Amino acid sequence: MKLLENIRVIDMTNVLSGPFCTLHLALLGAEVIKIEVPGGGDLARRLGNVPALNQELMGTSFLAQNSNKKSITLNLKADEGKEVFRKLLKTGDVLVENFRPGVLTRLGFSWDELEKINPRLVYCAISGFGQTGPDANKPAYDQIIQGLSGAMDVNGDERLHPLRAGFPICDTVGGLNAAFAVMAALYHRERTGEGQAIDIALLDSIMPPMGWVAANLLIGGKPPVPMGNDNFTAAPSGAFRTKDGFINIAANQQKQWEDLTDVVGVPELKTDPRFQERDTRKANRKELTPILEEKLTQNTTEHWVEALNAKGIPSGDILSLEKALKSDQIKHRKTIATVKEPKLGDIKIFSLSAQFSKTPGSVDAPPPRLSAHTEEILSQLGYSKEDLQALKEKAVI
């Protein structure tokens, strides 16, 4: 049994935040029906570093987050398209969209209308700033939210600041927040029978993960200092040079610090007043790092990782993305799945990262070709082949 078996999700999302939300629902077994614009579909179908795939409307950006989904095309500006949508809504459990606020209302499907059509519907709207507030109607992409949330302010160092995260962290965290909210709303519906509307803002979503940094300002009154690869909570905690590269070390506890001095060969630092206590080590990290690196650069990253981990001091290599994706731990956890796409052959995509003992998620189907399931879904709604042909001729599907 799948966790979300018999749950139908109507997915009107594009690009990243919304599709990332519905991907998790699909991996948990929900039937996710992706509604796309006839002709082009999700913009992500044309995004990626392989031009040939973009031309096939199967860009790598689309392949990354649309497995297990079904695709139908529907022109919601046409009256016939709106009628199809109403019928589909009556069969759905969840509706997810990431339009700018007001778009669905202008199409005739405000929350009041959606609730009348299907009182049990869980409706999740994802946007940059939320459905209300002074910035609600502003356009937003991930980088805009990174800047407005303060996320770029806490990255970088004195040489490069502000600095964006190397992947769309606001979109992905927003998508996860939306998936969490949908699951909570479905649980509420199980107990009460009632659906509800959910308003997810990317700006809201990315701020709580900065809780430790924000608390230092909100409660402690101290703004963040760009520290690059150093961890502001402890020292030595960050990236350090070795003989053949770099190593991450996180000696965040006093015992870990003291054990580290023995392993590296500087036991005298235990009683050095500059480094004896956590707060003084943090204040003097610029003096501490060169002392440690003088020793660390005498041996390889592999040597130090093994030696430090053996003493319970968290440490690790700093891998390229390619090596990280191929690591033994990732293979063991089956984080990456292989699925066969009829034309592309085997493709590698991420599976569900939460592992359930009784209702595991899985990649069961490749990302869909545009409109691959239009006939199947509309036939379920009572449309005949003649009806479908008429809708095609009117460019409704």
Judged by DSSP in three states, 84 sits in: helix
In eight-state DSSP terms, residue 356 is -
Judged by DSSP in three states, 200 sits in: strand
Kindly name the residue from 42, 171, 230, 317 that is annotated as catalytic. Answer: 171
Contacts of 39 (CB under 8 A, 6+ apart): 73
Which runs of consecutive H residues, i.e. helices, occur in the chain?
17-27, 51-55, 60-63, 79-91, 103-106, 111-117, 142-149, 169-192, 202-206, 211-218, 254-264, 278-283, 285-296, 301-310, 321-325, 328-333, 374-380, 385-393
- The closest alpha carbon to 104, from 90, 119, 124, belongs to 124
Q: Whole-angstrom Cα distance, residue 214 to residue 323?
A: 33
In eight-state DSSP terms, residue 267 is G
Is the distance from CB of 201 to CB of 136 less than 8 angstroms?
no
Instruction: Tell me the helix, strand and coil percentages in the chain, rounded to 5.
Output: 45, 15, 45
Instruction: Judge whether 171 counts as a catalytic residue.
Output: yes
Q: Whole-angstrom Cα distance, residue 60 to residue 45?
A: 8
> In the numeric block, which tokens belong to residue 83?
């009628």
In eight-state DSSP terms, residue 100 is P
- The closest alpha carbon to 95, from 242, 236, 194, 197, belongs to 197
Residues belonging to the active site: 171
